[in-house]
Structure 1
């Protein structure tokens, strides 16, 4: 009989999404088994280079945002995005992004106004993923097992039984849990087993990517360093990312439409051409990271007790780290609902909200990413060969191309709308009041307390973050004095619903707070708001805990 390991939740995949899911479950007192097919410490990919503001807020809540922010590029290394003819060539434009030293003090930058205590952090995953792993290994509620491949699963009553094998020894084992979550990447076994199908655009862009070491490159550049450099040399374009700010780099060579075979494109020739170096320049290839940009979203995110998150449920062009950050947003949406069910204060029906909320947003974000990718592809395929010429005409051309590139790319690198603007319009656990959420784009964001929106962040009078004062369950924000909340507090207590009351009557919240009361969910989305409690507080609590049938609105 194979050995059986059990925990409330079985997670397949120990990448950033799977580890964040396990850590967040643990913060709610829920244990998990995380099964990873790779050997311990084997993940050396450098594909993700950006931790979004929403993800940094998650890391803050879990207690290690400062650790993540302390790693990566040197303190004074500019996080700017630039456009150049070559890495060592002329610079056409620069999008300012503060270095780590200036991140919290420099405000005259495109994302300096953001309403958050945790702005983004430009850092490669080889630096921050070990922090997640260390935290997971230190948690008594998380069992991480490497060299384990989950090949199948079955549901039996209130349990999910996974069939797995040790890839090193061949030994069979079983993993048992109340729920299963596949965070196992683009080739997800769990996605296939639940019968989900990826739909969309299979190929948007082929990219030949090279992770390499070149200590001399920084000294050859004619301009200040940058975190990311778009490189335009006629019809060939690339993207250079500084990994350690000293000697390691990742170069994306965007293949032309007719170049369908990575191996047939001369990697060395185009690397040198994009960098602007000759045959005497020495570099060492560490790893080839070739990839295909796609826009694919699974047609469903769940069957019964099995769910999928991250790349298992969506694949798209990895601009600005959208894939990983969206995957962590999936996990943070699902984790508190799983914990609520397992801890007994919510009905299993609350889990219907995961797909109802995340699938439409995932599809929308995938289209944002694809649209931006298509604009970027059109831009770089229209660069004249004379872009690097001398003379006033070439100077004017570079100024025009630089201005257009700035306008295009600032949208993805200062994407407030993508971070904060999305809302959940059709959730079974949100009490809507008939108001419409404000429109948003990738770049534009208007704070709002319309149910389903992100709870608008602000700093309290003592300088602390609103989010730091909120509880791990629901939080009732009281914004006007003498507002009676006793009936709701009592109803929550009767139902076992965790509720923190936060008195903000002496604070000065932003204009978006138009009501006396607001209920914020564990994932910082508005669940309900009102000038007074609804007549039937038990109905509100039932909605919040998944015990109510869907309804358009509750009186407010």
Structure 2
């Protein structure tokens, strides 16, 4: 048998790949992450880590470090629709700052709120932090300027051919390979996995510029996003440091990009164009997320319109779903269904988020279709156009920013790892988050009497929550120990939490999704453990 150099090789060191590496390293899994570029990306891409992603960063131990790089807690999160920054806004949508959101979360007992607010932080600031954390995480080897060139898998592992920028090609062997290598994924293409949906919807230009004065001089009010009512579908995004900005617009190759910035701002100011890039809108999801010992993750598996912020955030969800399952496979306590469940759980999320992204973009498209070239003019006809745009924007634009149900309410009900309950599972709502403790959902945030958050009392592996405080749990503890899976038992005699969660016992997975609930342990604890650790197929085989 060939020698294994790493448990997992990760191709691609964007936020998703680096998060997966950190999670694996913390779980004791030896991993190598390789990136073809010599360093982290220099330009902003994503700009918002949503509330669920920030909960994940908190669990991994660095949410506060992420916040230190982005918008300060008092900065406005408002959104404007306008013709120029000097013109009266056509619509103004208020959203709480991070500080105000945190006060709202602290003021109630939980259930309806996330544990962490969202955070604006640019990708070119987030990636260096994640790189630094990954390099300091035990069991993680980070290599930049090192491209994955090819791979070949067999029943025991994957041979990965690497091409370092300044060295000879080499081959390493791993038990598993994770392709976090973006929309043009070499890993996905090598596996012959196709994308389904709508591709090449629109070509866009991104103008990235820096100005130390613009943010403080915006006359219509400070915010995070400004959508321009013009014929180029332009928008301005204030990046996390409030000195970098991006304008995304449908512009020709020969456009005067400096003038395009000035036209939309509407007054002279000092700025430096840093980069002009090209990108294309897609709504696509891979037909498969796994081929043997190889997995695709993040943009390699799904490409969405940035509207609604479901790109990187969906990828972070992929990473934390896959990480603990790879740990279970490497450490021997996971059954055959454990790795199969990655696609079973995450591809429906990818499809749902792809469609939600398209729905949000179509809401923005409704008011944009009413825009005509005369909209800035000082005429009755132009005023009528502005009135129509305003009416449509007020009715439809909030789709872009209000998809809380998509972010927090997704469920893995139906997964082979989830102990199903009788009756129909709750339907996911795109906008409304309805917290409950049904198997499949992330455990809702709730504050405990001692001031701790429920999510913070969970162990790194499985956690049995005994909300009655004295349930005999020896049979379940023995069953987990027999298969070698990690289990913590947390006892909380808390009537409020019992009532809120609707049960006395909860079994929570390492990714904080609920696997089972009840008021008494099942008679056959080993059967439950086999279910949640992916030994379902083993159970069937032994029964036969």
CA distance in 2, matches of 1:50, 1:229: 15
Aligned to 2:69: 71
Does the C-alpha gap of structure 1 residues 113 and 221 become closer, same or farther in structure 2, counting only changes over 3 Å? farther
Superposed displacement of residue 497, structure 1: 2.2
CA distance in 1, matches of 2:328, 2:105: 39
Does the C-alpha gap of structure 1 residues 321 and 54 become closer, same or farther in structure 2, counting only changes over 3 Å? same
Superposed displacement of residue 8, structure 1: 0.8
Match of 2:164 among 128, 144, 166: 166
Superposed displacement of residue 538, structure 1: 1.1
Gaps of at least 5 residues in structure 2 are none
Does the C-alpha gap of structure 1 residues 402 and 107 become closer, same or farther in structure 2, counting only changes over 3 Å? farther
SS at match of 1:508: helix
- 1:196 matched to 2:186? The reply is no
CA distance in 2, matches of 1:468, 1:389: 56
SS at match of 1:529: strand
CA distance in 2, matches of 1:333, 1:20: 11
Does the C-alpha gap of structure 1 residues 551 and 356 become closer, same or farther in structure 2, counting only changes over 3 Å? farther
Checking the alignment, whether the CA contact within 8 Å between 2:366 and 2:392 is kept in structure 1 is no
Aligned to 1:207: 204
TM-score, normalization by structure 2: 0.92
Superposed displacement of residue 6, structure 1: 1.9
Q: Which moved more, 1:502-511 or 1:348-357?
A: 502-511
SS at match of 1:438: coil
SS at match of 2:233: strand
Aligned to 1:454: 442
The count of corresponding residues between Structure 1 and Structure 2 is 536
Superposed displacement of residue 408, structure 1: 2.9
Superposed displacement of residue 366, structure 1: 0.3
Aligned to 1:95: 93
Superposed displacement of residue 399, structure 1: 6.3
SS at match of 2:198: strand
Does the C-alpha gap of structure 1 residues 139 and 391 become closer, same or farther in structure 2, counting only changes over 3 Å? same
CA distance in 2, matches of 1:481, 1:356: 34
Superposed displacement of residue 389, structure 1: 5.5
Does the C-alpha gap of structure 1 residues 62 and 244 become closer, same or farther in structure 2, counting only changes over 3 Å? closer
CA distance in 2, matches of 1:551, 1:388: 68
Checking the alignment, whether the CA contact within 8 Å between 2:363 and 2:400 is kept in structure 1 is no
CA distance in 2, matches of 1:481, 1:396: 65
SS at match of 2:503: coil
- 1:273 matched to 2:298? The reply is no
Aligned to 1:14: 13
Aligned to 2:246: 250
Match of 2:506 among 513, 518, 524: 518
Aligned to 2:417: 429
SS at match of 2:53: helix
Deviations 1:61-105 (A, max 9, x none): 111101111112345331221212212221123222333444412
CA distance in 2, matches of 1:347, 1:221: 57
Does the C-alpha gap of structure 1 residues 88 and 429 become closer, same or farther in structure 2, counting only changes over 3 Å? same
Deviations 1:369-389 (A, max 9, x none): 012212312321212556545
CA distance in 1, matches of 2:466, 2:369: 54
Superposed displacement of residue 537, structure 1: 1.3
CA distance in 1, matches of 2:211, 2:348: 43
Checking the alignment, whether the CA contact within 8 Å between 1:411 and 1:442 is kept in structure 2 is no
TM-score, normalization by structure 1: 0.90
Checking the alignment, whether the CA contact within 8 Å between 1:211 and 1:288 is kept in structure 2 is yes
Does the C-alpha gap of structure 1 residues 529 and 227 become closer, same or farther in structure 2, counting only changes over 3 Å? same
CA distance in 1, matches of 2:106, 2:438: 29
Checking the alignment, whether the CA contact within 8 Å between 1:347 and 1:546 is kept in structure 2 is yes
Superposed displacement of residue 268, structure 1: 3.8
Aligned to 1:133: 131
Does the C-alpha gap of structure 1 residues 220 and 391 become closer, same or farther in structure 2, counting only changes over 3 Å? farther
Aligned to 2:233: 237
Gaps of at least 5 residues in structure 1 are 256-261
Checking the alignment, whether the CA contact within 8 Å between 1:412 and 1:442 is kept in structure 2 is no
Superposed displacement of residue 220, structure 1: 4.4
Q: Which moved more, 1:212-221 or 1:539-548?
A: 212-221
CA distance in 1, matches of 2:37, 2:179: 15
Q: Which moved more, 1:449-458 or 1:405-414?
A: 405-414
Aligned to 2:24: 25
CA distance in 2, matches of 1:510, 1:222: 51
Q: Which moved more, 1:506-515 or 1:143-152?
A: 506-515
CA distance in 1, matches of 2:217, 2:118: 29
CA distance in 1, matches of 2:470, 2:72: 51
CA distance in 1, matches of 2:353, 2:239: 26
